[in-house]
Amino acid sequence: MKISIFQSNYIPWKGYFDLIEYVDVFYFLDNVQFSKNTFRNRNMIQNTKSKFYLTVPVNKGKLNDKISEKLIIENNWQQKHWKSIEQCYSKSKNFKNISKILKPYYLDLKFKTLSELNQKLIITICDYLRIKTKIITHDEIKYKANDRNMRLIEITKFFNCKTYVSSPQAKNYVNKILFNQEKINLEWFQYSKKLNQISIIDFLFNN
């Protein structure tokens, strides 16, 4: 079996979902330090003229706060995001169908933490795309390792997976020797070069 381990992102790009679909198990690694100005709490959409970010406001907290600990600040961000989404995609061919899925997340539901928002949105979109991968939320297991590589290895072993599938961007820190020593295959996922680097919702509305 193949596993991928990744932090949850806010309405991530289609490549994120392609990776989920490719593996047998996908684990949200949200018990790690939150990084500012990343896709953890923001992503891009586009209108006919330009691309721009939608950013979920989170509390400043402490420098070493985990993603799972990041609280969302209530400042009408949901209504603002939905208004922007409507302005960009109301004329798209799939607006009626996709808005039924996304609209409740912006006008009806409330979320305390960034992890809760991200994970539920990703799982909902996976269901719509009929992705059958087993998705594990960050609080379903407790790992012991603090080292970045050993943590990935421990989680992979926990789910009895023989192959760990990683994003190519992780080549600068993933230690292939350690994975070989633990008899775990290390595979680099190949994203499609045809994908644009903006949120999955652009794909959903227009395809």
- For residue 199, is pLDDT > 90? yes
Residue 143 covered by a domain: yes
Q: 24 by DSSP, 3-state: which?
A: coil
- Asked if residues 34 and 60 have their Cβ atoms less than 8 Å apart, the reply is no
Structure-model confidence comparison of residues 193 and 200, the more confident one: 200
Q: What are phi and psi of 13, to 5 degrees?
A: -70, 170
B/e letters for 141-165, b = 16+ CB within 10 Å, e = fewer, are eebeeeeebebbbebbbeeebebbb
In a domain, 207, yes or no: no
Residue 207: the pLDDT is 87
* Domain tally, the chain: 1
Let me know if residue 101 belongs to a domain.
yes
Tell me, what's the pLDDT at 108? 96
pTM of the model: 0.95
Residue with tokens 């087993």: 134
Cα–Cα distance for residue pair 112/90, rounded to 1 Å: 28
Residue 2's CB is within 10 A of a number of other CB atoms, namely: 18
Q: Looking at residues 55-80, what average pLDDT do you find?
A: 94
Average pLDDT on 22-35 reads 96
- H-run or E-run covering 15: helix 14-22
Q: Identify residue 180 by its one-letter amino acid code.
A: N
Distance of alpha carbon 185 from alpha carbon 131, whole angstroms: 23
Q: What is the mean pLDDT of the chain?
A: 95
User: Which burial class, exposed, middle or buried, applies to 34 when counting CB atoms under 10 A from its CB (0-12, 13-18, 19+)?
Assistant: buried
Backbone angles phi, psi at 200, to 5 degrees: -55, -30
Residue 13 structural domain? 2-201
Does 206 fall in a domain? no
Q: 62 pLDDT band (50/70/90 cuts)?
A: confident
In a domain, 54, yes or no: yes
